[in-house]
Amino acid sequence: MANMISDETIEYVGILAKLALSEEEKEQARKDMGSMLDYIDKLGELETQGVEPMSHVFPVKNVFREDIVTNGDMREEILKNAPGEKDGMFVVPRTFE
Amino acid sequence: MAKQYETVIGLEVHVELATKTKIFCGCSTAFGGEPNTHTCPVCTGMPGSLPVLNKKVLEYAVAVGLATNCTISRYCKFDRKNYFYPDNPQNYQISQLYLPICQNGRVEIETEKGKKFIGIHEIHMEEDAGKLIHDEWDDCSLVDYNRSGVPLIEIVSEPDMRSADEVIAYLEKLRMIIQYLGASDCKLQEGSMRADVNLSVRKTGEEGFGTRTEMKNLNSFRAIARAIEGERERQIELLEEGKKVIQETRRWDDAGGESYPMRSKEDARDYRYFPDPDLVPIVIDDVFLEKIRKKQPEFREDKMRRYKEEFDIPAYDIEIITGSKHMADVFEATVALGSHPKKVSNWLMGETLRLLKEKGLDPEDVSFSPENLAKLISLTDTKAVSGSVAKEVFEIMFARDIDPEKYVEGHGLKTVNDEGTLRRTVEEVIAGNPQSVEDYRKGKEKAIGFLVGQTMKAMKGKADPGMVNKLLKELL
Amino acid sequence: MELLGMTAVELAAAIRKKEVTVLEAAKAVLSQIEEKEDMYHCYVTVDKEGALAQAAAVQKKIDEGFESPLAGVPVAIKDNMCTEGLLTTCSSKILGNFVPTYSSEAVLNLKRAGAVILGKTNMDEFAMGSTTETSAFGATKNPWNTKHVPGGSSGGSAAAVAAKECFYALGSDTGGSIRQPASFCGVVGLKPTYGTVSRYGLIAYGSSLDQIGPLCKDVTDCATIMEVISSYDPKDSTSVKRADTDFTSALKDDVKGMRIGLPKDYFGQGLDPEVKSAVQKAAKVLKEKGALVEEFDLGLLEYAIPTYYTIASAEASSNLERFDGIKYGYRTESYEGLHNMYKKSRSEGFGPEVKRRIMLGSFVLSSGYYDAYYLKALKAKALIKKAFDEAFARYDVILGPVAPTTAPGLGESLSDPIKMYLGDIYTISINLAGLPGLSMPCGLDTRGLPIGLQLIGDCFQEKKLIQTAYAYEKVRGPFGGREEKVHGKAI
C-alpha cells in the first residue's frame, strides 16, 4: 500500500468528522482509507494542466429568491423531531465553560 | 519599552443586512420573535432542505463593495465552511472563500494624525448562526434558530491599522457608508455590526508581521479600544519574556478587562471549505452592476460639501446632521418643503438631539415626518404659536408624529393676538406684582423680564412675547 | 388481466374505465406485500392505513372527474425522500425515528397526480452501497433468487417492482443506484438529466450527483412517470427549466437512423461474458431495426471511480454533518459534554460503510489535501464531461452494460470495498457528467438472473433513450414474470 495512514491521521479525521471509532474500526479505517487513496492516486496520471475544475455540469447561474417573507410560524413542526426540547428551543449539552 | 513596538491590526467586520427575509429561505429576519418562530426546514438544517439565494443580499453586498472601492467579482460562488457547533444547524456555514463577491477595496479614514487609506481585502456573503442560551436550572444550553440564516456580509480589511483610534475611525466610516446605503443599521450593541480584531505586534521598523491573535466578543467602541490595548500589552509582555505569541482566537471579557483563549482541542480549525453543490454560481454582468451603481446614494462627504455650498448653516451642524443618513434625509425633505435651512437645523440640533439623548435613542430612530416639522416651523414663522408652545408640540410630535396644525387647533394653543384680552392680563399682572413694577420704575430694566414671564404664564404660553413686552412698557 | 401483473399505465386505464377501483388495487398490492415481505424485505415502512385512506380519497377525486395518467396507481418511495407524517429513515439508525413535517417535491408531484403511496422502500444506508446490504434494517433479497442481492442503493424499490409489491417506485441515483438495481431485478429504471427532478426533500448523499428517477415495469411506464415527476422547482437552485418533458411523445417504435455508439472500454476486461453477449445482442436488434450502430473509444473509464468516490465522499461528509443528535434523529443515551454527544451519537447512529465514506470525504477536504484530491477530481470530472460531449457530437445514444455482472450473492460484496466500487464502473461517469441513463432488462444469465442494458444520452435527451428503449422492448417482448418459467414458481 502506497498510502500509509497513521493513527494520528485517523484520530484527526475522527475529530473533524465527529466520529469515535473503536480500535477495531480504526484499524479497518486505516486499511480502507489507504487502499482508497491508492486508488484515487490514479488520478495523478491524468494531465489536468489548464483544466478548469468543474463543480456544476451545466452553466446554470443566478438563481435567486425575491426578498419576500413566505414562511409563517413553523415552530411546532421544527421541534417535532427534537430529541430534547425546552421552552420552544432545542436542548443541547452545555456549551459554556 | 512598549514604545519600541508597533501594533498591527486588521479587522473582520460582520454586518447583518437589512433584508426582510433570511439569506437562503423565506423566513423573516425580524427581531423579537419567540424562539424558533422564524424558522423553517432550510434554516434549521432539516434533511432534504435546500438553500436558494435572496437576491437582495447580493444587491446589498455589491452596493457596499462599490462604495468601498472594491472590484466586484464577475463570477462568484458559495462555499461550505464545515465545523460542528449547535448554533450552526447544518454543521456547516454557507460562506464564500474561494471566489468572494468583492475584492481589493479601500476607504479613507481621518484621525488626529491625519488622513489614511485602509485596504479592504475582500467582502463576502454568508449566513448568521442561531443563538445559544444557557439554562442554569437544567445545566444545559438551549438553541434558538431565529437568527440562523440571517444574511451577513463580512468585510475583511488589510492589516493596515496601527491604533485603536484608527480602528474606530475605520468602523465609523464603514458604518456611515452602510447606513447611507440602507444595507444595515450597524448597531454594535445589538450585534448588527460585529468586529473581530486581528492583532499582532512587531518591533518598530520591522517589515514582517508578528504572530496574530483574533479577538471576538467586542460589542462597543469602548470594548474594542480596551481590548486592543489589553492584547497589545499581553503580546509585548510575552515577547519581552522571551515567550511566543500563539496564533489563536480569544474572547474578550470587557467586565474583567481580559481575554481568554476560546477553543479546545475538539475544534481543529480545519474547515474543509469546498464549493456548495446546492447553490449555483453568480455571474454579474454590466447591466446588473450599472443598476446598483445608479441606485448608490450621495455619501456623507459629498453631502457635507453640498450642504456647505447650499445652506447657510454652521459646519458643526452639517457634521452632526450628515452623521446620520436618516437625519440628513429629514433635513433635506423639510427644507424642500420650504422651511428655512437654519430653522430646520436648529430643531434637529436642539430639541431633536436633546430628546434622543433623553430617551436613549439613535438618530436613526427619529420618527416624525418632514411634513410635520415643516408645519411646525411655519406655525412659529407666522407667530401663530409661541416658542414655548412650539417646543411642547414638538415633544409630542417627536413621540407620535402628530400633525402640529391640527394639534394646536384642537388644543387651543394658538397665540392670542387679541389686544383686549392681552391688555387685561397685563393689567392684572401689573396689579399683582407691585414689587417688580416698582423695581422697573426705579430703572431696573431686568424686572420687565419677570413680568413678561408672569404674563406668558397666565396666558399658558399662548401669547406673542414681543407683543406682551410692548404692552407692558406702554402700561408701566 | 391479472391485476398485479399490470403496468402502472395499464392499471390507471383500468381504473379510468372503472374495471378496477383504486381501493381494489391498493388492497391487492397490500396483500401481496403482506405475503412476500418476509421473503424479500423490500420495505422499511408499509403505510397500510394511509394507503387505504389515500385510495379512497383518490377514487373520490377520479369519480369527480380528476384525470391523470397515473391516478390511483399505488407507488413505493425510496426511504431517502421525505414524506410528510411518514417515517423517513434512509435505512439508518441515525434517522430511525425521523418523521418529516414536509414532503419532497417529487413525492408532492406524485400526490398531485393522484398516486397512492404504499410506503418507504429499503436502501443502502444513505444510498451508500450497491447491494442494499448496508441498510440498518436488514438486507433486501432479489425476487429472482433470494440468495442474491437486488443491487443498490435503490434495491428495495427495484425489488418491490419485480416482486409486484408495488406498481412502480421512485429511486435515487448518485452513481448507479437506480440503474444497477433495475438491472439486477429485471425492471426498467431511469436516471434523468441532473436538474430534471427536484432534489428538494431528497436527503442528500452527493448533492452534485443525486437525481430521483422511476423504477418500473416497462418503458411506457417510465416515460409516463417521468412526465409526472419532472418539474422546475424554485426551491432547488439546481433545478432546470425544461420545455421538453413530454416524454411519452417519444414512445415510437422507430430507431431508423438513430446513431448508437458502443464504447469499446465498456466491453473490455472485467465484463462477464454472458452480460457482454446479451448486451451485444440487444445492439444487434437495434441495428436490424435501422439504427446506425458502431463501436468507438470513449476513454477515461478507469478514472471515473476514483473521481466519483472523491467527489461523492467529500459532499457526503459535509451533507451528513447535520445528523448530530440535536434537531432530529438518534441521540446517544449517555454522554459527557457536547463533543462526546456528537461523537457517540454519530458513531452509534451510522453504519460502517457510511462512516468509511465520511472519513474518506473529510480527509480529502482537509487542510493540505484539498488540491491534490478534491480539486484534482473536479478537473477529472471536467475531462470526463468533455469526453462525453465529443461522443455525443457523433452519437444520439451510447449503449453498454449497466454492471459488469448480474446480481452477486448475498454477503459477497461488502468484504472488499474496492471490488464493490468497481461494480459501479459503467454507471458512475453518467452521474459525473449529469447525463440521463436508462437501464432495462435484455436477457437472463444461465443462473436465471436478469441482465441489464444501459442506454446513455446527452443532457436533456431522455426522449432519445425512451425511443430507443421502446423500439428494443417491442422486439424483446414482455419481460416481467419470466422468472416464473425459470424457477417454476410464482412470485
Q: Has C231 been annotated as catalytic?
A: no
Q: Is B475 on the interface with C (CB under 8 A)?
A: no
Residue of C126, C335, C365, C373 to mutate, interface with B, max B Cβ within 10 Å:
C365
- How many CA atoms does the CB half-sphere of C415 hold within 13 Å? 5
**Which chains sit next to A, with 3 or more Cβ pairs under 8 A?**
B, C
- Overall domain count for chain B: 3
Q: Is A4 on the interface with B (CB under 8 A)?
A: no
DSSP B431: H
Residues in Cβ contact with C77 at an 8 Å cutoff, skipping those fewer than 6 apart: C83, C107, C117, C119, C120, C121, C157, C169, C170
Interface residues of C toward B, Cβ cutoff 8 Å, are: 81-82, 88, 90, 95, 98, 100-102, 104, 199-204, 206-208, 234-238, 314-315, 317-318, 321-324, 326-328, 338-339, 342, 362, 365-367, 370, 374
Taking an 8 Å cut-off on Cβ atoms, the answer to whether B47 and C207 are in contact is no
Q: What three-state secondary structure class fits A53?
A: coil
Please say whether the beta carbons of C184 and C218 come within 8 A.
Answer: no
Of the candidates C324, C326, C379, the beta carbon closest to that of A53 is on: C379
The domain limits of chain A are: 7-45
Q: Is C232 on the interface with A (CB under 8 A)?
A: no
C-alpha torsion angle, residues C386, C392, C394, C400 (rounded to 10): 110
Residue of C322, C339, C358, C360 to mutate, interface with B, max B Cβ within 10 Å:
C322
Helices (H), B128-285: 164-181, 221-240
User: Could you tell me which residues are beta bridge partners of residue B124?
Assistant: B154
Rounded CA gap, B249 and B228, in Å? 14
**Which residue type sits at B134?**
H
The DSSP element (H or E) to which B156 belongs, if any, is: strand B151-157
Taking an 8 Å cut-off on Cβ atoms, the answer to whether C360 and A33 are in contact is yes
> Which residue of chain B has the CA closest to C98?
B47
Cis-peptide, bond into residue C153, ω within 30° of zero: yes
Please say whether the beta carbons of C88 and C99 come within 8 A.
Answer: yes
Taking an 8 Å cut-off on Cβ atoms, the answer to whether A65 and B277 are in contact is no
Mean predicted confidence (pLDDT) in B82-101? 96
> Which residue of chain B has the CA closest to C320?
B90
Rounded CA gap, C408 and C371, in Å? 37
Provide ipTM, 2 decimals: 0.96
Look-up of cell digits 436527503 = C203
Per-residue cell: C298 = 470513449
Q: Is B143 on the interface with C (CB under 8 A)?
A: yes
Q: Is B86 on the interface with C (CB under 8 A)?
A: yes
Mean predicted confidence (pLDDT) in B446-462? 83
Rounded CA gap, B231 and B198, in Å? 10
B200, pLDDT greater than 90: yes
Q: Which pLDDT score is estimated for C482?
A: 40
Of the candidates B27, B28, B133, the beta carbon closest to that of A89 is on: B133
Q: Which pLDDT score is estimated for A58?
A: 87
Contacts of residue C95 in chain B, CB cutoff 8 Å?
Answer: 47
Q: Is B272 on the interface with C (CB under 8 A)?
A: yes
Rounded CA gap, C286 and C284, in Å? 5
Same domain? B324 vs B222: no
Residue B293 belongs to some domain of the structure: no
From B183's Cα to the closest Cα of chain A, the distance in A is 13
Rounded CA gap, B278 and C366, in Å? 20
Taking an 8 Å cut-off on Cβ atoms, the answer to whether C365 and B82 are in contact is yes
Rounded CA gap, C215 and C217, in Å? 7
Same domain? B130 vs B70: yes
Helix axis angle for A7-17 and C352-365, nearest 10°, is 100
Q: Is A69 on the interface with C (CB under 8 A)?
A: no
Same domain? B64 vs B188: yes
From A83's Cα to the closest Cα of chain B, the distance in A is 12
C235-259 tens-digit pLDDT: 999 999 999 999 999 999 999 999 9
Residue B170's pLDDT band (cuts 50, 70, 90): very high
DSSP C167: S
Taking an 8 Å cut-off on Cβ atoms, the answer to whether C374 and B274 are in contact is yes
Taking an 8 Å cut-off on Cβ atoms, the answer to whether C307 and A77 are in contact is no
Chains A & C: contacts with CB separation below 8 Å: 163
Rounded CA gap, C4 and C18, in Å? 16
> Which residue of chain A has the CA closest to B86?
A92
Residue B82 belongs to some domain of the structure: yes
Q: Is B283 on the interface with C (CB under 8 A)?
A: no
B113-163 tens-digit pLDDT: 999 999 999 999 999 999 999 998 889 999 999 999 999 999 999 999 999
Single out the catalytic residue among C68, C91, C157, C177.
Answer: C177
Same domain? B194 vs B314: no
Please say whether the beta carbons of B215 and B247 come within 8 A.
Answer: no
Single out the catalytic residue among C78, C141, C191, C463.
Answer: C78
Taking an 8 Å cut-off on Cβ atoms, the answer to whether B141 and A94 are in contact is yes
Same domain? B339 vs B454: no
B297-309 tens-digit pLDDT: 999 999 999 999 9
Interface of C with A in 356-415 (CB under 8 A): 356, 358-360, 362-364, 366, 373, 375-383, 385
Q: Has C78 been annotated as catalytic?
A: yes
Per-residue cell: C382 = 471536467
Rounded CA gap, C478 and C457, in Å? 24
Single out the catalytic residue among C92, C103, C130, C153.
Answer: C153
CA distances from B356 to B43, B321, B399, B474 (A): 36, 13, 10, 42
Rounded CA gap, C350 and A26, in Å? 15
Interface of C with A in 40-99 (CB under 8 A): 97-99
CA distances from B323 to B175, B319, B349 (A): 10, 6, 12
Domain stops at, among B410, B444, B459: B410
Please say whether the beta carbons of C189 and C153 come within 8 A.
Answer: no
CATH code: domain of residue B460 = 1.10.10.410
Taking an 8 Å cut-off on Cβ atoms, the answer to whether A55 and C234 are in contact is no
Helix axis angle for B370-381 and B387-400, nearest 10°, is 170
Q: Is C417 on the interface with A (CB under 8 A)?
A: yes
Residue of A30, A47, A54, A68 to mutate, interface with C, max C Cβ within 10 Å:
A54
Q: Which residue has the higher pLDDT, B334 or B473?
A: B334
- Which among C245, C269, C241, C225 is positioned nearest to C109, based on CA atoms? C225
Report, as ranges of residue numbers, the positions in chain C whose pLDDT lies below 70.
Answer: 1, 480-491
CA distances from B407 to B352, B375, B376, B387, B463 (A): 19, 11, 10, 15, 17
Q: Has C177 been annotated as catalytic?
A: yes
Domain that holds residue B425: 419-475
Q: How many residues does chain A have?
A: 97
Q: Which CATH class is domain A7-45?
A: mainly alpha
Look-up of cell digits 441606485 = B295
Q: How many residues does chain B have?
A: 476
B239-289 tens-digit pLDDT: 999 999 999 999 999 888 889 888 665 666 899 999 999 999 999 999 999
- C292-312 exposure pattern, b = at least 16 Cβ within 10 A, e = fewer: ebeeeebebbebbbbbbbbbb
Rounded CA gap, C349 and C428, in Å? 27
Q: Is A85 on the interface with B (CB under 8 A)?
A: no
> Which residue of chain C has the CA closest to B24?
C235
Instruction: Catalogue all structural domains in chain C, each as residue range(s) with its CATH number.
Output: 3-264+392-487 (3.90.1300.10), 301-379 (no CATH)
Domain stops at, among B288, B320, B355: B288
Same domain? B390 vs B431: no
- How many CA atoms does the CB half-sphere of B291 hold within 13 Å? 9
Chains B & C: contacts with CB separation below 8 Å: 98
Helices (H), B220-324: 221-240, 286-295, 300-310, 315-322
Q: Is A43 on the interface with B (CB under 8 A)?
A: no
Rounded CA gap, B130 and B117, in Å? 35
Same domain? B73 vs B221: yes
Rounded CA gap, C406 and C408, in Å? 6
- B178-198 exposure pattern, b = at least 16 Cβ within 10 A, e = fewer: bbbbebbbbebeeebbbbbbb
Q: Is C234 on the interface with A (CB under 8 A)?
A: yes
Residue B32's CB is within 10 A of a number of other CB atoms, namely: 6
Interface of C with A in 153-182 (CB under 8 A): none
Phi, psi of C47 (to 5 degrees): -100, 75
Helices (H), B296-403: 300-310, 315-322, 325-336, 341-347, 353-359, 370-381, 387-400
